[in-house]
Amino acid sequence: MNCGGRAEIAFSTTIRVYFQDTDAGEVVYHGAYLNFFERARTEWLRHLGFEQPQLMRRFGVMFIVRSLEVKYMRPARLDDLVDVSVEVSRMGRAQVTLAQEVRNKNESLVRANVNLACVSTGEFRPQPLPEEIGAAFSGTAGTTTNKRNAKQ
């Protein structure tokens, strides 16, 4: 990933496959991967210093899935420990596209491109990414404030 020439920003979390995630053959049901991706995005936000309720209270925004493209290559199975990654691939004014992947050991199982829209909590209207959040997503947190202070 490269966000406009900035360094790579990636995050990964480990998730165990539970019985509830599988079908009768103990293979992860295709829809369960969307839950894995959601959990990883939530943990990624926490890692960046943002909790979902904080986004709503402090910034008055939330992220909703605008579009999703998923490619299934190999199945995960009951009791597997899978790594689910999140990586920013594109950022717009009011949206961000994430590359997400589920891996078991070094094997890629599922890949997704997830486009999230930043919307107001009250009316669900598109909102520009708050500066602090955009800086964290692009890996430039702290530099925006320093540049602004240098101009004053």
116 with 95: CB under 8 angstroms? yes
- C-alpha–C-alpha distance, residues 79 and 55, integer Å: 33
**Active-site pick, 21, 23, 79, 83:** 23
Which amino acid, 91? M
Residue 23 bears catalytic tag: yes
- Residue 143's H or E segment, with its range, is helix 143-151
Q: What single string gives the DSSP state of each residue in 58-71?
A: IISEEEEEEEEEEE
Half-sphere exposure of residue 50: CA atoms within 13 angstroms, side-chain side = 23
Q: Considering only CA atoms, which of 122, 13, 145, 142 is closest in space to residue 59?
A: 122
Q: What residues are labeled active site?
A: 23
